Structure 1
């Protein structure tokens, strides 16, 4: 009861009082976030300013009216931005005014430019002082590369000298040390794990940090980056501007309270739309054993030339599908989390350059990745989280383009579809009729065996001759068993509605998108057979194979029917009477439109989908219900370190939290966070010793030419930094004595080395002096004996190499 009442009052809670208190927040205590979101916004009329957007006009362009510089406005024009999107109009003026911002807008609405442009406007130019001034944290490497390329484009387009660095996992640590030491970037785009690793190795200071930006902020806090983010937030200075951007953001900001937001400006756009208006969706009810054949049927309908992304739940499923579609003649790339960074870049480039038509990925690529021309998205495995669905299908229908999203569902995944229906607020339409709107409704239908029988036979033929396919399917099925155990549990009401949906046989109706491929008479026969239910039980049948039914069993059923026949008739008659009464006198609702207060918020299902903590498992519920009166300095520390836990190896309950039980060494940072010992391996000291570069400190003046000196040396042909011992001399070599004498002279073993003398020319002739060891120079003329000896050695070498026997002497 208490939870419902608190939810209904969410709109009137001023959460800024829970965050870092400032003078502004104390003056605006009574203002809600929705009231704040209407402040400091610049509304632009596109019709009045259409001619102002041309760079040749002297009047200010649309982006200049938002507070950006003229150079940045020109860069946006050349990038193809003519009018600011709604999220850009709302957020850019506020970010320029150096205020914290929390923004949510649907996929493809221009969120990257919303924070990148004001950041470049604020930093303006490169600072001749060592230190990072802006950090942008993203959840995965592909998104980091995309944001990096966007920043480079705007910097070059605005003729700025700002420097941008990329720090992601998979690249060598030395290259990233070199970036921070020699290049001194103003903006660093990074993933949390590698940024923390580099900062611990280098003992990096962020005293000059001005802006901290989280892209896909909610995903960062859900992907297990809690330890890394906690330590990074302890390193970052408190006096900074913090920006949070995502396509799915909860209205309550309690999940982000540890970020130290100060009087944040909260923007939520398109909460009622959630998906692009140009996106068409269709859902297909299938059986689990026909999932592969259904996928191949959809790919046949799409065609080999359309760019398509296929989303799976595990990396083993990705590898299996890559083998399967290759067998059918499709060119495909694949990406998953544990894939090597170089391989990931190669696979993504193949798809971006349209060298392959299919990209098979896990949910890794569901966030923020913008592929120029993408036509279709296929959900091979359906989602257990409505937010993930929004990000998956958000890869298509971006920036005004249209696109399709196909989803395959088995009966056990129908409750998740009901949750999605409540979250999106759209009607679920079953496969009846052809006049359906795929953009505003959720159209669902069946893929019957008659549609996919060709694909089923082809897959069976491939499995009979290829054992790799069979092994891949086994690994995929085993991984899905573990995935199903860990996925989020849908609501009980969704389960009930899904059961009614299955019992009503609505899922047997064909999907109207492909219903033309079936004959109507054939379809009606299939439905009648599938819905057939015999009137008699097995005890009332005359024969069971070659055996007769025993008389006692048959008589017991007959007696049961005679005994209860009257009760059954009375019950049916009462139901018919009640139905007629309800038609004549419809039941009045107790809800009074004027005074009734519902126990749930109107948008409760939407907020449940956006929420960070699901609270479906006991562990999450217990963690949310836990209250500590003494542990108020660090909310992430456990209260009782002696709590019992189950040890799967010892098969018993043991004390402790399991930290260190895997025999991995840990280090404790200054803030008390435990990190793996691999974060501190003195790799930075070895780098400085190898390159002989100075260890510059944050705040020092930048050394002139330092950024170019190391790069120019690397361009030389023979430049290397490897230091190794000299190679041992071969005593059987013809020049052994000469090389040994030279090495002794160079090492100083044969007296002090004398400086090289400049040769003197007297009367047009070169004056020859003594060598460094005090002897006269050796004559270059060969005697007859020396010539004969050399010829003999060459002849013997030739004979040995060609197996030629020497002539016997006479």
Structure 2
């Protein structure tokens, strides 16, 4: 059955076109179920009318308060008060500045709150307010209060820890404004990797209503604690496509099998595919509702993009030129910004730099800190506490640069961010969309800068096809008009003289100190190896993009051979100086804080020097390493390369002739017909002319498989001979006969071809860890059920009720542990104890009584120590230390 789909073409449209599902195609429900649905719909409609009337009064009060401000509260259709939200929730939204819903919120919130509940798939570009689209219905559904029945009510799955922390903060901030003095507030639980298991045991035992978690750690807790998820009614997959791409497929399948079928499932992402085939594993209903907003505009219209063609060996210098000349990032640590309602002040130079791996992050961190920039860094293997401190450093404004991997490309809201730099170009267009989506959010403008090497040109062509925008060269821009960086992908170069000077300056700076030089050279080697592995693991671009990138790189050859006009100005090409990006020439015209690039001199000597440097820069040697110094000598390798060059020359002549024939055909010149073309011949004609028989000689050919092995394998009833022989091999180390007569080998090892060494185990699971099989048949690591929770429960003396039963009071220690684990801010001590009464049987009872009686009087003794008291305490401490350090006189 086709899903019901809502389309919204632009932000100005308030209502999209509906594709109604015919009622005849829907299954007829039973009479009892139909009556229950009618009653629930009637109650929901009555409640909505009451909430709309009460919300209008709340909106009027908010309008009076915001009458003196520039923007008031929007009322009428499409506003928050027209959605039937609870007055307390509406008031909380209005007080926090959420006056006008975004298009995705305008369409998703009513769809989620509709009765009967239905599954919803939401697609909108990043920064459009998807988090609030499912957080508002969640709080409305929980009625803003904690449920006393035991069990999780709502579950939100996210791909990264930072996104989970951000969602917890947003949810707590909105739910804090719910006014209900007789009920407890909603309990939130943050379950992510890198945190202590004992704290999370206490957190889950505290009966949370909403759990925001990453799939791996949540499944670990569920298996370890044997949790029952039958009470879950609301499930959200945030950044859904990333969840399925990051290797969480098995964890998600196991979680979905444990969830009840009556749940409401929501999927939100910025790059959902057009079909629902990839999300069938999420257990959606047969008729989900798909809401797609701005399907053609995948990135914000306020985002300006600039692409720079660079050489791989000059990426570091190009990055420094970009930070200094164009963006204008100041060096040194900056002062922290003043917070206003939880948001930091805007700084025009706040920049995030995306790298390929964590080794690139460490390498750039050393480089940029040595130059003098204040940097923060985040990658996956970094400790959670370090992640939080680094993110706080960047959010407060003390760090101007944030160096990250693709971990921070999804869902993280950085309100002070204006610039995004792709140091390593995104290998997938969707990943590029998520990267640049960290800026130009919520109607603000932003910049996206990308460094593109010749190897990464095919990925740029793929991005151009994905976005549907023209790809143009910067040298074709004429006049003083500004380039259209919002609607086109403009690629240019950096000034050659400035790049050469920066390369030399970086090399001198990094080798000025011996310690920095050693770390710098070591990290460069590590980054080189890591980048090669990263490239091998990435998806390859399309063949069409490969062909286009090859044509772009061959401009110099076409310019020299055919005399054609070069269409692209790339690094190392003949038009490199002419193709300097306009943003680098005059950054102030685009509202940037950098300085303009130094202009070349007008005299003829400087022009001749620049021309000579351009020729040297674009020079490609005609000899290979096998032929250098081998002229006049008949060496095997040199003769091999000469033969290879002659073969390539023949192919080039043939390619030129084909290009000339195509050009002649385009100019309506009749081409010479070819006789006996093999392209038009069928298989019969080829077989009649050429020998297409088998090349195998039965006399000398030996098959890799024994004749009739497949038939024997089909007739077999047990294990194969190879498996039986594997279990019957003799081990010199000896066997140990265990219970039941089973033979266990001691210290048996096998050769792992991937790790290139002998390892223990049979290789089942990652790192040969022991696996267990769940009830659904999925294999999970045995460490998920290690008995650690049972031990913790015995130590804390906790007995949890079953799902659906009324919750019980937890011990004070467990309650305190759960509160500290669930609090995202600083720990606050709330417990206060009265002093113990004096014991009359003590020998110093009268003395203590006089001291207590003298408190508050002028004759009370001061608690501050004098210098004499401090010297006496130090002398006594030294005396005790010397006494304890005496050698023992006991006989040994």
* TM-score of the alignment, normalized to the shorter chain, above 0.5: yes
Match of 1:513 in 2: 583
Rounded Cα–Cα distance in structure 1 between residues aligned with 2:804 and 2:656: 91
Instruction: Classify 1:572/1:361 alpha carbon distance in 2 versus 1 (closer, same or farther; 3 Å).
Output: closer
Which sections of structure 1, spanning at least 5 residues, go unmatched?
Answer: 1-12, 18-23, 31-41, 43-48, 539-543, 554-565, 584-640, 720-756, 760-793, 805-810
Match of 1:120 in 2: 139
Instruction: Classify 1:646/1:258 alpha carbon distance in 2 versus 1 (closer, same or farther; 3 Å).
Output: farther
1:75 aligns with 2:100: no
Match of 2:123 in 1: 104
Rounded Cα–Cα distance in structure 2 between residues aligned with 1:163 and 1:701: 15
Deviating more after overlay: 430-439 vs 322-331: 430-439
Rounded Cα–Cα distance in structure 2 between residues aligned with 1:476 and 1:698: 51
Rounded Cα–Cα distance in structure 1 between residues aligned with 2:303 and 2:244: 28
Counterpart among 245, 257, 265 of residue 289 in structure 2: 265
Rounded Cα–Cα distance in structure 2 between residues aligned with 1:396 and 1:288: 26
Task: State whether residues 351 and 420 of structure 2, in contact with CA within 8 Å, keep that contact through their aligned partners in structure 1.
Answer: yes
Q: For 2:278, what is the secondary structure of its paired residue?
A: helix
Task: State whether residues 107 and 275 of structure 1, in contact with CA within 8 Å, keep that contact through their aligned partners in structure 2.
Answer: yes
Match of 1:325 in 2: 368
Rounded Cα–Cα distance in structure 2 between residues aligned with 1:357 and 1:454: 24
Match of 1:348 in 2: 391
Instruction: Classify 1:60/1:345 alpha carbon distance in 2 versus 1 (closer, same or farther; 3 Å).
Output: same
Counterpart among 771, 779, 782 of residue 677 in structure 1: 782
Deviation string 1:417-470 (CA, Å, 9 cap, x unpaired) is 000000000011101226311111101011243122332122211332321111
Instruction: Classify 1:532/1:191 alpha carbon distance in 2 versus 1 (closer, same or farther; 3 Å).
Output: closer
1:127: Cα distance to partner? 1.3
Match of 1:689 in 2: 794
Task: State whether residues 201 and 684 of structure 1, in contact with CA within 8 Å, keep that contact through their aligned partners in structure 2.
Answer: yes
Deviation string 1:232-260 (CA, Å, 9 cap, x unpaired) is 11111111000000001001111111222
Instruction: Classify 1:28/1:70 alpha carbon distance in 2 versus 1 (closer, same or farther; 3 Å).
Output: farther
Task: State whether residues 4 and 289 of structure 2, in contact with CA within 8 Å, keep that contact through their aligned partners in structure 1.
Answer: no
Instruction: Classify 1:709/1:177 alpha carbon distance in 2 versus 1 (closer, same or farther; 3 Å).
Output: closer
Rounded Cα–Cα distance in structure 1 between residues aligned with 2:657 and 2:155: 75
Counterpart among 83, 88, 94 of residue 66 in structure 1: 83
1:696: Cα distance to partner? 2.4
Rounded Cα–Cα distance in structure 2 between residues aligned with 1:512 and 1:283: 11
Task: State whether residues 127 and 442 of structure 2, in contact with CA within 8 Å, keep that contact through their aligned partners in structure 1.
Answer: yes
Instruction: Classify 1:657/1:379 alpha carbon distance in 2 versus 1 (closer, same or farther; 3 Å).
Output: farther
Rounded Cα–Cα distance in structure 1 between residues aligned with 2:785 and 2:539: 36
1:312: Cα distance to partner? 0.4
Q: Write the mapping of 1:109-508 to structure 2, written as runs, cut at 5 A.
A: 109-124=128-143, 125-159=145-179, 161-182=185-206, 184-262=207-285, 263-301=287-325, 302-305=327-330, 306-432=349-475, 433=477, 435=481, 436-464=483-511, 465=513, 466-505=517-556, 506=568, 507=570, 508=576
1:504: Cα distance to partner? 2.0
Task: State whether residues 463 and 470 of structure 1, in contact with CA within 8 Å, keep that contact through their aligned partners in structure 2.
Answer: no
Aligned length: 618
Rounded Cα–Cα distance in structure 2 between residues aligned with 1:799 and 1:528: 77
Instruction: Classify 1:572/1:405 alpha carbon distance in 2 versus 1 (closer, same or farther; 3 Å).
Output: closer
Rounded Cα–Cα distance in structure 2 between residues aligned with 1:488 and 1:546: 41
Task: State whether residues 91 and 103 of structure 1, in contact with CA within 8 Å, keep that contact through their aligned partners in structure 2.
Answer: yes
1:578: Cα distance to partner? 5.6
Rounded Cα–Cα distance in structure 2 between residues aligned with 1:69 and 1:122: 10
Instruction: Classify 1:236/1:405 alpha carbon distance in 2 versus 1 (closer, same or farther; 3 Å).
Output: same
1:349: Cα distance to partner? 0.9
Counterpart among 14, 31, 39 of residue 2 in structure 2: 14
Which sections of structure 2, spanning at least 5 residues, go unmatched?
Answer: 6-20, 28-47, 49-54, 65-74, 331-348, 557-567, 571-575, 586-596, 640-652, 671-721, 727-749, 821-828, 834-838, 842-875, 887-892
1:67: Cα distance to partner? 2.8
Rounded Cα–Cα distance in structure 2 between residues aligned with 1:259 and 1:670: 19
Instruction: Classify 1:478/1:440 alpha carbon distance in 2 versus 1 (closer, same or farther; 3 Å).
Output: same
Rounded Cα–Cα distance in structure 2 between residues aligned with 1:668 and 1:546: 65
Task: State whether residues 3 and 288 of structure 2, in contact with CA within 8 Å, keep that contact through their aligned partners in structure 1.
Answer: no
Task: State whether residues 310 and 378 of structure 1, in contact with CA within 8 Å, keep that contact through their aligned partners in structure 2.
Answer: yes
Match of 2:588 in 1: none
Task: State whether residues 103 and 245 of structure 1, in contact with CA within 8 Å, keep that contact through their aligned partners in structure 2.
Answer: yes
Task: State whether residues 796 and 814 of structure 2, in contact with CA within 8 Å, keep that contact through their aligned partners in structure 1.
Answer: no
Deviation string 1:23-78 (CA, Å, 9 cap, x unpaired) is x8984479xxxxxxxxxxx9xxxxxx999955446987921212322211111112
Deviation string 1:386-405 (CA, Å, 9 cap, x unpaired) is 11000000000101111111
Instruction: Classify 1:123/1:463 alpha carbon distance in 2 versus 1 (closer, same or farther; 3 Å).
Output: same
Rounded Cα–Cα distance in structure 2 between residues aligned with 1:411 and 1:443: 16
Rounded Cα–Cα distance in structure 2 between residues aligned with 1:408 and 1:320: 17
Instruction: Classify 1:239/1:706 alpha carbon distance in 2 versus 1 (closer, same or farther; 3 Å).
Output: farther
TM-score by length of 1: 0.69
Rounded Cα–Cα distance in structure 1 between residues aligned with 2:217 and 2:656: 73
Task: State whether residues 55 and 74 of structure 1, in contact with CA within 8 Å, keep that contact through their aligned partners in structure 2.
Answer: no
Task: State whether residues 58 and 90 of structure 2, in contact with CA within 8 Å, keep that contact through their aligned partners in structure 1.
Answer: no
Q: For 2:200, what is the secondary structure of its paired residue?
A: helix
Which structure is larger by alpha-carbon Rg, 1 or 2?
1
Instruction: Classify 1:532/1:672 alpha carbon distance in 2 versus 1 (closer, same or farther; 3 Å).
Output: closer
Q: For 2:367, what is the secondary structure of its paired residue?
A: helix
Instruction: Classify 1:292/1:14 alpha carbon distance in 2 versus 1 (closer, same or farther; 3 Å).
Output: same
Match of 1:613 in 2: none
Task: State whether residues 436 and 448 of structure 2, in contact with CA within 8 Å, keep that contact through their aligned partners in structure 1.
Answer: yes
Task: State whether residues 336 and 361 of structure 1, in contact with CA within 8 Å, keep that contact through their aligned partners in structure 2.
Answer: yes
